[in-house]
């Protein structure tokens, strides 16, 4: 587990990368107080097209790697670009196509978590 300050810096880099590529509806969910959570934070955003989703995910990967020397433990969803996951162990990033985000309602499933909303 990363130290809180290091984790906060990584989250800030992720949010910045999403904003740089014009991701929308950006939120973070603090899951630390939820015993059933698989990580400490979810970062969730939406993209309006598959090329934009790819650009957001690649920008996150590049920024975190460059600034923090961290690679995702696991990457998934790069084939269909509808729901891309970047797993940094205690921070998991979800980049959704808008329709998929509305369908899966991940925001609602974890509504007990502390929510932070970021500007697009």
pLDDT of residue 115: 98
Asked if residues 69 and 40 have their Cβ atoms less than 8 Å apart, the reply is: no
Cα separations in angstroms, 107 against 12, 22, 30, 59, 119: 20, 20, 12, 23, 16
pLDDT of residue 20: 98
More confident residue, 3 or 18: 18
Question: By percentage, how much of the chain surpasses pLDDT 90?
Answer: 94
Is pLDDT at 1 greater than 80 in this prediction?
no
Question: In sequence order, what DSSP letters do the residues of the chain get, joined into one string?
Answer: ---HHHHHHHHHHHHHHHHHTT-EEEEEEE-TT-TT-SSSEEEEEEESSHHHHHHHHHHHHHHHHHHH----SEEE-TTT-SEEEEE-SSEEEEEEEHHHHHHH-HHHHTTTSEEEE---
pLDDT of residue 2: 62
Asked if residues 22 and 52 have their Cβ atoms less than 8 Å apart, the reply is: yes
16-62, pLDDT tens digit by residue?
999 999 999 999 999 999 999 999 999 999 999 999 999 999 999 99
Is pLDDT at 104 greater than 90 in this prediction?
yes
54-88, pLDDT tens digit by residue?
999 999 999 999 999 999 999 999 999 999 999 99
- For the chain, the structural domain boundaries read 4-115
Per CATH, the number for 4-115 is 3.30.460.10
Q: What is the mean pLDDT of the chain?
A: 96
């Amino acid at each position: 587990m990363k130290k809180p300050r290091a984790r906060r810096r990584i989250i800030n880099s992720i949010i910045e990368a999403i904003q740089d590529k014009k991701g929308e509806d950006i939120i973070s969910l603090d899951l630390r107080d939820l015993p059933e959570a698989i990580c400490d934070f979810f970062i969730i955003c939406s993209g309006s097209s598959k090329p934009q989703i790819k650009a957001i995910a690649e920008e996150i990967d590049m920024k975190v790697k460059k600034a923090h020397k961290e690679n995702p433990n696991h990457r998934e969803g790069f084939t269909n670009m509808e729901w891309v996951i970047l797993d940094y162990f205690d921070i998991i990033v979800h980049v959704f196509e808008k329709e998929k985000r509305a369908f899966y309602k991940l925001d609602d499933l974890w509504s007990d978590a502390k929510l932070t909303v970021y500007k697009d």
